[in-house]
Amino acid sequence: MSRIPVPRSGRPVAVLALAAGLLGLLAAPPGAPTPSPRTSPVAAVAENTATVFYWTKTKNWTAHHLHYAPDGGSWTTVPGVAMEPACTDWVKKTVSLGTAAGLQATFNNGSGTWDNNGGRNYALGTGNITVKDGVVAHSDPCADTTPSPAAGATVYYSTEALGWSTANIHYQPAGGAWTAVPGVGMQAACAGWWKREIDLGTAASLRAAFNNGNGTWDNNGGSDYTIGTGVSTVRNRVVTAHAADPCAATPPDTQAPTAPAGVTAAAADGVSVLLSWDPATDDRGVTKYQVTRTGGSGGTVVTDVASTVYSDTGLAERTAYTYTVRAVDAAGNVSAASAPATATTGDRPATPATGKPLGTDPRKDPIYFVLTARFNDGDPSNDRGGSQHVKSGNAANDDPMFRGDFKGLIQKLDYVKGLGFSAIWVTPVVLNRSDYDYHGYHGWDFYKVDPRLESAGASYQDLIDAAHAKGMKIYQDVVYNHSSRWGAKGLFVPTVYGVRDGQWSWYYDEKQPGFEYDGLTIDAKTGKSYYNGDLWSTAEPAGNTCVNWGKPTGGKSAEGYTVYNCQWPSPTSGMFPKELYHQCWIGNWEGEDSRSCWLHEDLADFNTENPTVQNYLIGAYDKYIDMGVDGFRVDTAVHIPRTTWNRRFLPAIQERVTQRHGAEAAKNFFVFGEVAAFVNDKWNRGSVNHSAQFYTWKERKEYDADDAKAALEMYDYEQQQGTGNQPTSTNAFLDGNSYHTPDHSRFSGMNVIDMRMHMNFGDAQNAFSNGKDSDDSYNDATYNVVYVDSHDYGPNKSSERYAGGTDAWAENMSLMWTFRGIPTLYYGSEIEFQKGKKIDCGPTCPLADTGRAYFGDHVAGSVTATDFSQVSSASGAVATTLQQPLVRHVQRLNQIRRAIPALQTGQYSTEGVTGGMAFKRRYTSGSTDSFALVTVSGGASFTGVPNGTYTDAVTGDVRTVTGGTLSVAAPGKGNLRVYVLNGPGRIGTAGPYLK
């Protein structure tokens, strides 16, 4: 699909659209009269006019707009003025040019498709002008024809989501006048729908807004609705042109879907079979699939599946099973069976998946984030340095990149619990493969846990079970966007050119039959764990698509060695099939290509719109859902189209959790995406598709059934809608002092990291102000994950770990633990670990010199936690760590937050609140009614609050409010006051900041 051509106007189209979108809801209804100017009349000046005729037959658009600028004048607002029917196959528009002798012009369909004369615009004069297939002439093509009949519009408006008991349409035919406010009444058509037939005369469209007759308006966020002739529906701010009558009786569906094709079955994890297939088609849509299994002693088993991938578990060992798949539509029509697929199971795994997620509201659980390989080393036998061990300087520090492991994390669960955290975010656990892969983001075998993290008695399953036994959740970092540069085992692994000569024999390992890379096992012949003999060949492989196989590029390596074509995988080398991987580099990080091209040379970009790729990834992550993880942190979520998340990956997650663990667990399975925006804008440089809040919403309209086409359609549509026409929500906000039930009906299923607050945490006041400013555009900002710095960046896109000082850290923490969202701390920040150090420099410097240094030395010794934030005993280095000021600060913050529901799940407001960082929060459910007044660092005054007894959770101070006002003195930087109505009293003991 081509991109939208941009007219060569005096102002860019995007700027015009943005300016229009920012109008928002109007104080007066659209079309209201404006005051007359109080100036003396002046003599009329003769004006030039042009009547522009445009040929419609070739493009066959349903609507036509003229976007123009008189010579020397300004352009009209996008999309321009609507053209009207002239005669058969022609539309026209007469425009005033003033004293100009001509105009620049482009044409469009009002929905983003343009004719701008190949980017040159049309140069037109005055009088009658025709534009036909790019040719300009001066004539009236309709001079000898009968005028077109009057046009009509039938408008259906849905009030289902609004609850209105009546509806009016206030409208303006193109070129005509608005109706008088409130417009004309619409007739009830059927449940939830209202109808009005409108005579447009010669106009080809109308602008409209709707109201309930009592002052409540829907004017499309201030932009009004543009509606064409024929039947149109308006539902949830989406206009559907040439629509079917929503109240017409639907004829019975008797057509069955097509039989599913491409069914494959493969044994996985011994007694499991992974089944996948291509989507079936149906005239009204497939709703589910029926998977039929035969074989073994269980007879015939039929299972309903909502996606195109199914993992069949708990089967018999060493048994052949045969599967067929049928598609089912909403009417119950069933397709013919697919071709059969057969798989034979192996031996039962020694450690079956036994986990079950805790299934509680994720907002109650503060998160501690660890790079597992750098946190704590419980088993030195699985340490591995990799090919860059010496070059990086890690060898000199006896600090292999893979050092920490699950055993080390299990050993220190009491440390994390003693800090008060009840959720741990771990970096990706899948088997990685690259030159420097300890962080986990270079996935190679997505179905296998990396053995460099596991030990006897300390598998990934053991970690999950051990955390759950302590009431702690495990959030797994997952990657859907890319694999390692060497591809993904089980999907596609490229063959690279390699010559074992005097230059490259150190790099290309001799093939060892039967040896399989797992990152851990040492190849006896080479002594390497990073063996690559299975990846390369000097002989051109069958079906090779790589260009100039094995020929020198003319370049040299850093060592001066000859570099060959097809030696290093890249998107443009032809080494990856376009069906499975994208074929380009990102050129514009705020452009469409940022979702369909490679981020970096060692991150091969999946074609996530391909069903085979989707099935591979869904099947892989089903395994970890089955193990009982409590949620997924989604890496590089912004680099996959929202349509793909909403159509495929997010529903698959929900389906699997529901299937394995129940509906309540699915409701609270926490998915939070990294939608990286490194600017302070509410909308990332004005691009809605690249902004975090955008991903928290469902789609607003239907797109093509093909996922790749749908992604482009959605991108174009939403970019045209702009920032001023995006959905909004009050889910994070109190209604005065009252909590209200949030509306999650349009929630996509993905929450997000609060990148805007993260970028502004150089100063807590900035983070607070920027956070508040964005909250109406998230579906529910109370689920935002909030942190100061991470394994990638510090505030303001700093490449160093935060070094703002202990007082500033304490202030940031006090805000994070009391404001909306889920507070998250990157490992070691509780002692300002590696403050000011560069977070990551790859293998060009030792890890010990970076923000990803090994932390185990600081938690060495023993520690026992009796409860969250409660340590009963500690010895060794960890005892010293636990005495640090920020440790004591975060322990008490966690105590306070855990005791006050309003601070966990409450909505907030700053209405009637004065003070720099001050707000009120409330949560009400059943017998729970928690109301808190909070101020951080500075003083505050709260007016219009409920009367009653308030107790400060920090000091125990008691205030009785009788006139709706409570004033609080400034507690000092990093300190805070939390006055709770009918509160529990002081929580915890005074520390270095909370006192």
Name the pairing type of β-strands 496-497 and 536-537: parallel
CB-count exposure of residue 748 (10 Å: 0-12, 13-18, 19+): buried
The model's pLDDT over 374-427, given as tens digits with 9 standing for 90+, comes to 999 999 999 999 999 999 999 999 999 999 999 999 999 999 999 999 999 999
Rg of the Cα atoms in the chain: 32
pLDDT value for 94: 92
Q: How far apart are CA 603 and CA 598, in angstroms?
A: 7
Beta strands in 706-806 (DSSP E): 751-752, 785-786
Residues lower than pLDDT 50 in the chain: 1-44, 352-353
Which amino acid, residue 372?
T
Integer angstrom CA distances of residue 210 from 159, 177, 200, 245: 10, 16, 18, 19
CB contact at 8 A, 151 and 182: no
Element housing 207 (H / E): strand 205-211
Residue 194 three-state SS? strand
Question: Between β-strands 862-867 and 822-826, what pairing exists: parallel, antiparallel or unpaired?
Answer: unpaired
pTM above 0.95, yes or no: no
Rounded distance between C-alpha atoms, residue 603 and residue 769, angstroms: 36
Return d(Cα 867, Cα 852) in angstroms, integer: 29
By the 8 A CB rule, do 30 and 142 touch? no
Q: Pull the structure tokens for residue 535.
A: 């990846």
Alpha carbon distance 125, 49 (integer Å):
9
The Cα 110–Cα 62 span in angstroms is 9
Residue closest to 896 by CA, chosen among 961, 975, 963: 975
**CB-CB neighbours of 792 under 10 Å:** 16
